[in-house]
Amino acid sequence: MAAVANPTVFLLMVSGQIESAQFPEFDDLYCKYCFVYGHDWAPTSGLEEGISQITSKNRGYQPNLVWNFPIDITFKSTNPFGWPQIVLSVYGPDVFGNDVVRGYGAVHVPFTPGRSNLDYQNSVSAIKEQSQCLFQNLHQCCRNLQVGSWDDGQSSLTPKWWHGERAGK
């Protein structure tokens, strides 16, 4: 009786952390991750997805949002086709307090063994979401609009009518 040859497998162990990100215009954000992979791949241990805590920016001079969120998973496969990718999504509250996507991106798990330092800004192209709500877009435009100052009208942006002058003068 001939023995059926079992295909040989290899293991891919991923261990690390989602350290931090920079979103200058947002605060109080959290991160979700999940792995996507080909049909021949299977997780053998660890978590395929996770959600971090909400973090706020350091009020000092470093505007990073720090999560230090651990990742630890092991995959097995007989074929490198469909190499795993980690998909990251960053969420935060809108003006109504609802959680909305503030950015997302994906990157392949490194191909070479050893330590890899993936820079989120360079390796995971963060795509920032534009709100579909007209009111939220209008609110953001109004926040960014500067119409003058209230410092006794000394700003050149202060309209002339504020000083009681006619527009023709």
Which domain does 166 fall in, by range? 131-169
Model confidence pLDDT, tens digit, residues 67-77: 999 999 999 99
Tell me which of 34-38, 44-48, 51-55, 63-67 is least confident.
63-67
Is residue 97 one of the residues assigned to a domain?
Answer: yes
Residue 115 phi, psi (nearest 5): -85, 135
Cα Rg, the chain, nearest whole Å: 25
CATH of the domain at 121: 2.60.40.150
| Same domain assignment for residues 146 and 87 | no
| Same domain assignment for residues 81 and 137 | no
| Same domain assignment for residues 118 and 164 | no
Instruction: Transcribe 4-18 into DSSP letters.
Output: PPPPP-EEEEEEEEE
| Same domain assignment for residues 122 and 39 | yes
| Same domain assignment for residues 155 and 104 | no
Tell me which of 10-19, 45-54, 70-79 is least confident.
10-19
Residue 67 phi, psi (nearest 5): -110, -45
Model confidence pLDDT, tens digit, residues 117-162: 665 444 455 555 555 554 444 444 444 444 443 444 444 444 444 4
| Same domain assignment for residues 125 and 100 | yes
Return the SS3 of 143: helix
Residue 66 has pLDDT above 70, yes or no: yes
For residue 85, give every residue at least 6 positions away whose Cβ sits within 8 Å of its Cβ, in sequence order, or none.
35, 36, 37, 106, 107, 108, 109
SS3 content of the chain, % helix, strand, coil (to 5): 10, 35, 50
